[in-house]
Amino acid sequence: MAKTSLAAVFHEAGQPLTFPQYELPTLGPGEVLVRITCSTLCGSDVHTFLGHRSTPVPTVLGHEIMGVVEGLSTEQAVSDYEGRPLQVGDRITWSIAASCDDCFFCDNEVPQKCEHLFKYGHEKIVPEHPLSGGLADYCHLAAGTAIFSVPDSLPDVVACPANCATATVAGAIRVGGGCEGKSVLIQGAGMLGLTVTAMAQSRGAHEVIVCDVDAERLRRASQFGATQTLLVSEDEQELIASVGDLTEGRGVDLAVELSGATSAVQTGVKLTRIGGRYVLIGSTFPTPPVDLDPESVVRRCLTIVGNHNYRPEDLAAAIAFLVEHGGRFPFADLVNDGFSLPDSEAAFARAVKGQDLRVAVRPET
């Protein structure tokens, strides 16, 4: 077994990544050492790389990670989310963050907002725990991480986004009250939007309407189960009329917003039917405030709900979805799988171009 791990370390936007070797850790109770097989760069990694969002530095970026158990705590057995004891060689992924299970927020069903959160790909490198991100040969899992076994049938590049994109989508649909029999509107056809589209289709939505400003993205949405695609123009009345035509004039039962654009949020409120639900997921960066008519929210009995990240149960649902339905949709085609860990700088340069919804980085074997 190796004694050290290469890592791609991010210091500051505009500065080159560095590639130090770190000693592999001595595992404490409940901890796991994972040999990483693949990481995909998420939009938030790219935003951090470009300096559009801040993170404690230096850090090892990358949180959509797949790997194989290389070492286990000898002091305490570690089990996966299903309760199966983990063994060396198991193929796994894990929740984006480890929660303490003991604080106010953990006790109140938002463990992703734990007061003692340890978030992979977002932690400052410290001497006792440098390996906490995906752009490395190894990742050191903290106690309290929800770990999931992944079947061999699910390729790395399809499984990697599970612990951010797919699980976030599963959480969005959960807070939206499910999809079965509903008309669902998806605003934004990026990685998350395509995933909502496929999940809504798989979970029995009777209408899956996707809107975006980009015709090419909409073409792809059709491959992910969209029953209708609508190009967003400057004039929101066109979109309101089109959605009205598709919903007998009522608006949709469930709308999910993934673009984060102020104008999209304002329009989405109008596209949701009386008594419907509007789930906001995309607003993870500062934007101008939304002009909201509170009377319309009251009189139209709207539920508007935000959700950030997810609970472990959502990652369980995400993996189950990919195992059962992933093969029906071209998820693998969304990933550019051409970069090794020492090429991480080039991988980011590729991701910044925005042509690929995900860029994969693999340690050299």
What six digits make up the tokens of 173?
């649909």
Is the Cβ–Cβ distance between 54 and 286 less than 8 Å? no
Q: How far is the CB of 225 from Zn ion (least distance, A)?
A: 22
Minimum Å gap between C-beta 171 and Zn ion is: 13
Q: Is 60 in the site for Zn ion (CB under 5 A)?
A: no
Q: Which stretch binds Zn ion (CB under 5 A): 1-9, 105-113, 179-187, 228-236?
A: 105-113
What amino acid is encoded at 139 in this protein?
C
103 touches Zn ion by CB under 5 A: yes
Number of other CB atoms surrounding residue 322 within 10 Å = 25
What are the backbone angles phi and psi of residue 169, rounded to the nearest 5°? -65, -45
What are phi and psi for residue 219, nearest 5 degrees?
-60, -40
Rounded to the nearest whole angstrom, what is the least distance from the CB of residue 117 to Zn ion in the complex?
A: 7
**Residue of the chain from 7, 34, 114, 200 that contacts Zn ion (CB under 5 A):** 114
CB of 118 to Zn ion, least distance (A): 10
CB of 250 to Zn ion, least distance (A): 34
Considering the rule CB under 5 A, would residue 146 count as an interface residue with Zn ion? no
Q: If binding is defined by CB under 5 A, does position 42 make contact with Zn ion?
A: yes
Contact with Zn ion (CB under 5 A): which of 5, 39, 44, 183?
44
Beta bridge partners of 209: 185, 228
Q: Which of 6, 8, 3, 2 is nearest to 23 (CA)?
A: 3
Q: Indicate the Cα dihedral angle 37, 73, 153, 178, nearest 10°.
A: -110
Could you say which of 36, 72, 142, 164 contacts Zn ion (CB under 5 A)? 164
Nearer to Zn ion, 124 or 299 (CB): 124
Stretch that binds Zn ion, among 164-172, 176-184, 305-313, 331-339 (CB under 5 A): 164-172
Q: Cα–chain-centroid distance for residue 109?
A: 19
Rounded Cα distance, 16 and 18, in Å: 6
- Shortest approach of Zn ion to residue 114 CB, angstroms? 3
- The answer to whether residue 100 forms part of the interface with Zn ion (CB under 5 A) is yes
d(C-alpha 189, C-alpha 217), whole Å: 6
For Zn ion, the binding residues (CB under 5 A) are 42, 44, 99-100, 103, 106, 114, 164
